[in-house]
Amino acid sequence: MTTFLHLLNGGAGNLAAYLAAHVLLCLLPAFFIAGAMTALIPKASITRWLGRNAPYRVSYPAAAAAGSLLAVCSCTIVPLFAGIYKKGAGLGPAITFLFFAPAGNILALAYTGSILGAEFAFARFVLCLLFGIGIGLLMAMLFWRDDASHDAQTDALFAEQASIGRAATGVLLSLIAVLIAGTLKLSLLNASVVSVTLPLPWAEAWQATLFHWVPFDAAKGEEGVSVQGSLLIVLLLLIGLAAWKGLENIIEGANRWTWIALGLAAATLLVAAMRLTARPDGLELALTGRVLAVGAALVAVLHCARRLDGDAWRSWLWESWRFVKQIFVLLVVGVFVVGVVRQLIQPEWIQGLAGRNDPLANAVAVVFGVFMYFPTLVEVPVAHMFLDLGMHRGPLLAYLMADPELSLQSILMVAAVIGRLKTFAYVSLVALFSIVAGLVFGAWVDGVSPTWIAIGLAGFVGALAVLLTWMLGRRVSAVHA
């Protein structure tokens, strides 16, 4: 019973820490962006660049380029992936976007270089780009029938007649500005503009209570629940209650709960952008540059949204709420389960299991990444800790390739969007390519002859070519049958 309670507390603590973190600055805008993509962008605007019939030389680089600009984690990218996929993007380009954004974005690469070295960042970029495109192509080949059917069905989406105009473009750009302002790591955004200490003597005691309820080890990349975090959890619960009353039937018209839900969402983003610190004399509230940036972006969203016609903005809110209902519960379940499993896995096992560069060690690193999920960019200092514990650089790269992609909660969410079979294929391909990436980089670090590395890669590519040829043959046969 004691072990069970310990595991239960680990799951609940991990969930509380996740919801209390500033990840809300990513998640909330992502759901609204996904809804806007579905409701406000005509299919032709997506399929021109990312459609299944767009030239490969255009669609796949465009998907990777779009992902490179978003410093988001595997959970946040799923609503955006769902948005472009449901609006007409081909499965292959959408998968490339899904894969590349968390691991290969500019901020993640820059941070990797500063912590682990330039060669590590370069290897991560090159392998993420090549393998992201490769995985997308393979998924498009494996599920070409479903992709064609999906392409035909996108015309029947709820917002099929929406046309993008200046107001819709403004809403999308403003929402992206909210996402960037909330996640960009700049000293200007983190700096305090003004601070004031609120006379709340109980704040420090409440902080101590939270740390007691949700213990954590910062050296392992774990996050506790701060006073600010507890406030964010309360706001999130209030948003859920208000949204259920105000957005569930938004197509029939807005009510007071609609405006309460939207107001709470905006307030949550602003509170998440602040810095609240418990002190002996009270609660210090610091308005940062991030608060001003997020606030300005929210004003821009409001300004543009007021210029949408009634059907357009109601469609946008409905699609956003639909994504929340489809994805958020699975996110919560996944984070809880990861918290339970993390109580059973010790980082110190790394030295014995992944201290060498072989297929088993790289596979262990990939599996470890699934159950030791960390928010965006946190995986880099954690990887540095693993390196200090004795992890070989090959499996370390495999871990960094897989961790941003294959968290348990993101797997559950992706399955809700594209189905279990496609998700199983995607997860298998990511795991395979991550292992290969680790083996290649590890061999190079160990001083293996470039000739042998090239031969190994050629063999891997050859096997893929045979597989692709076989699948293309089946496709042609099916078409002529």
pLDDT in tens, 389-425: 778 888 888 888 887 777 777 888 888 888 888 999 9
pLDDT tens-digit map of 187-204: 888 888 888 988 988 888
- The more confident residue out of 69 and 314 is 314
For the segment 335-342, the average pLDDT, to the nearest whole number, is 72
- Looking at residue 261, its pLDDT comes to 94
List C-alpha distances in Å: 111 to 103, 122, 184, 185: 11, 12, 12, 10
Cross-strand partners of 278: 283
Distance, in Å, from the CA atom of 287 to the CA atom of 271, rounded to the nearest integer, reads: 9
pLDDT at position 145 is: 78
Please give the pLDDT value at position 213: 81
DSSP codes, 122-153? HHHHHHHHHHHHHHHHHHHHHTHHHHHHHHHH
End-to-end CA distance of the chain: 60
- Provide the pLDDT for residue 293: 94
On whether the CB atoms of residues 362 and 398 are closer than 8 A, the answer is yes
Give yes or no for a contact between 336 and 12, defined as CB atoms under 8 angstroms apart. Answer: yes
More confident residue, 53 or 130: 130
* Neighbour count for residue 345 (Cβ, 10 Å): 14
Q: Residue 451 pLDDT > 70, yes or no? A: yes
Q: 291 pLDDT exceeds 90?
A: yes
* Three-class secondary structure of residue 187 per DSSP: helix
Cα–Cα dist 4/94, whole Å:
40
From the list 109, 98, 87, 111, the residue with the least C-alpha distance to 64 is: 98
Which pLDDT score is estimated for 159?
42
Model confidence pLDDT, tens digit, residues 253-290: 889 999 999 999 999 999 989 998 888 888 999 999 99
pLDDT recorded at residue 266? 94
What pLDDT is attached to residue 221? 56
Distances (CA, A) of 256 to 31, 242, 320, 327: 21, 9, 18, 25
User: What pLDDT was estimated at residue 332?
Assistant: 76
Q: What residues pair up with 275 in beta bridges, in sequence order?
A: 286
pLDDT at 478: 60
Mean per-residue pLDDT over the chain, rounded:
80
pLDDT at 256 (0 to 100): 93
Dump pLDDT digits (tens) for 40-63: 877 666 767 777 777 888 888 888
Structure tokens at 95: 């998968």
Q: Is the pLDDT of residue 109 over 90?
A: no
Question: What distance in Å separates the CA atoms of residue 462 and residue 178, rounded to the nearest whole number?
Answer: 44
pLDDT top residue among 230 and 13: 230
Q: How far apart are CA 451 and CA 444, in angstroms?
A: 11
Per-residue pLDDT of 3-39, as tens digits, reads 666 667 767 776 777 776 656 777 788 888 888 877 8
Is residue 39 within 8 A of residue 316, CB to CB? The reply is yes
Closest CA to 223 of 231, 234, 214: 214
Separation between Cα atoms, residue 352 and residue 81, nearest integer Å: 37
Structure confidence at residue 160 (pLDDT): 46
Tokens encoding 125? 């970029």
Q: Tell me if 203 sits within 8 A of 369, measured CB to CB.
A: no
Nearest Cα residue to 314 out of 250, 266, 383: 250
pLDDT-above-90 percentage for the chain: 13
pLDDT in tens, 163-184: 567 888 899 899 989 988 887 7
Q: Which residue has the higher pLDDT, 71 or 467?
A: 467
Q: Which of 54-58, 295-299, 307-311, 329-333 has the lowest mean pLDDT?
A: 329-333
Separation of alpha carbons 95 and 77, rounded Å: 11
Higher pLDDT, 160 or 17: 17
DSSP code of 179?
H
3-state DSSP helix/strand/coil % of the chain, to nearest 5: 75, 5, 20
Mean pLDDT of 91-115: 79
Q: Which two tokens stand for residue 413?
A: 């969410």
Which residues touch 475 (CB under 8 Å, ≥6 apart)? 141, 144
Q: What percent of the chain has pLDDT over 70?
A: 82
Residue 403 three-state SS:
coil
Work out the pLDDT band at 84, boundaries 50, 70, 90.
Answer: confident
- DSSP string for residues in 266-296: HHHHHHHHSEEEEETTEEEEEEEHHHHHHHH
Asked if residue 65 lies in contact with residue 132, where contact means CB atoms within 8 angstroms, the answer is no
pLDDT given for residue 381 in this prediction = 66
CA distance 355 to 393: 9
Residue 260 confidence (pLDDT): 95
Does residue 161 surpass a pLDDT of 50?
no
pTM of the model: 0.73
Q: Is the pLDDT of residue 162 over 50?
A: no
